[in-house]
């Protein structure tokens, strides 16, 4: 009985190795192509903010109303702001994603679960939507298909995702690959709760207000007063050169 088990384990290991052989060269190829230029700009942005590169942890804060993704890094026991990346396209309106095909960008706390070097949108980072919180609320409300395949990606078009343009996604993608995608958190909110009161739409489910209170509490760790003057023209010139 042991031999079949050993053969099965060997087969599984060979399959995993084959999958790695397929994926890793593509990721390596993409990083070899884009990392030198992207990291030159990232290093300039970090130097401008007075933070050492590369960081250990990062937090992406996507704000629907302002159409930006803020980049914060954890350094010297606190979160420090590095840069705001413009969101070039994002469909939907304020409010969380509820079902497949509603074209809504999710709202909540997410992790990056995959880096796709072969994306149709240049490069992309897959979020773990729907997460446990999303599934729990969908189950209570009888929503069996809350949606899937939510990405932060390049290009200038999107349906339910965040399109950052190609230069923007190159920086974010390379950064996530450099530090490890498990070290990157993603917070997505309808509004900047550091500036606006926490209030869900009147017809929203109770859990939406609860989510917004959690998001507002989390955003307190990233004070607006701590945001740096962006390295725009100088860093943009560097990006253009590369």
Segment 187-227, tens digit of pLDDT: 999 999 999 888 777 778 999 999 999 999 999 999 999 99
Active site residue 153: yes
C-alpha to C-alpha distances, 219 to 37, 51, 104, 187, nearest whole angstrom:
31, 20, 22, 9
- Does residue 90 form part of some domain? yes
| pLDDT tier for residue 240 given thresholds of 50, 70 and 90 | low
Question: Do 108 and 188 contact (CB within 8 A), yes or no?
Answer: yes
Question: Do 13 and 101 contact (CB within 8 A), yes or no?
Answer: no
- Does residue 67 form part of some domain? yes
Going 75 to 78 to 79 to 81, the CA torsion angle's sign is negative
- The per-residue pLDDT for 161 is 97
Which residue in 81, 83, 122, 161 is the catalytic one? 161
pTM for the model stands at 0.87
- As a whole-number percent, the residues of the chain with pLDDT over 70 amount to 88
How much is the mean pLDDT over the chain? 89
- Does residue 3 form part of some domain? no
- Does residue 219 form part of some domain? yes
Question: Do 89 and 165 contact (CB within 8 A), yes or no?
Answer: no
How many other C-beta atoms can be found within 10 angstroms of the C-beta atom of residue 11?
A: 10
Question: Does residue 144 have a pLDDT over 80?
Answer: yes
- Does residue 1 form part of some domain? no
Angle at 198 between CA 192 and CA 202, to 5 degrees: 120
Angle of the 233-241 helix axis to the 2-49 helix axis, nearest 10: 130
- Does residue 2 form part of some domain? no
Which residue in 122, 153, 231, 235 is the catalytic one? 153
Domain that residue 76 falls in: 36-241
- Does residue 119 form part of some domain? yes
Total tally of structural domains belonging to the chain: 1
Question: Does residue 4 have a pLDDT over 90?
Answer: no
- The per-residue pLDDT for 104 is 98
- Does residue 153 form part of some domain? yes
Active site residue 161: yes
Question: Does residue 3 have a pLDDT over 80?
Answer: no
CATH of the domain at 233: 2.40.440.10
């Amino acid at each position: 009985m042991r031999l079949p088990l050993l053969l099965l384990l060997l087969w599984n290991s060979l399959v995993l190795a084959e999958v790695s052989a397929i994926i890793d060269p593509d990721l390596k190829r993409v990083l070899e192509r884009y990392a030198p230029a992207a990291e030159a700009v990232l290093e300039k942005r970090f130097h401008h903010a007075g933070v050492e590169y590369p960081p250990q942890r990062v937090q992406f804060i996507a704000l629907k109303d302002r159409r930006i993704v803020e980049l914060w890094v954890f350094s010297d026991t606190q979160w420090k702001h590095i840069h705001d990346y413009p969101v070039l396209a994002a469909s939907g309106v304020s409010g969380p994603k509820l079902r497949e095909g509603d074209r809504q960008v999710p709202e909540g706390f997410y992790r990056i679960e995959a880096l796709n070097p072969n994306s149709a949108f240049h490069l992309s980072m897959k979020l773990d939507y729907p997460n446990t919180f999303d599934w729990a609320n969908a189950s209570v409300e009888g929503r069996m298909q809350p949606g899937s395949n939510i990405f932060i990606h390049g290009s200038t078009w999107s349906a339910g995702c965040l399109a950052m343009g190609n230069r923007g996604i190159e920086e974010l993608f390379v950064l996530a690959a450099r530090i490890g995608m498990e070290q990157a958190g993603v917070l997505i909110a309808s509004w900047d709760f550091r500036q606006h009161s926490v209030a869900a739409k009147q017809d929203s489910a109770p859990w939406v207000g609860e989510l917004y209170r959690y998001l507002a509490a989390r955003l307190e760790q990233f004070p607006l007063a701590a945001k740096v003057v962006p390295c725009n023209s100088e860093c943009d010139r560097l990006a253009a050169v590369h």
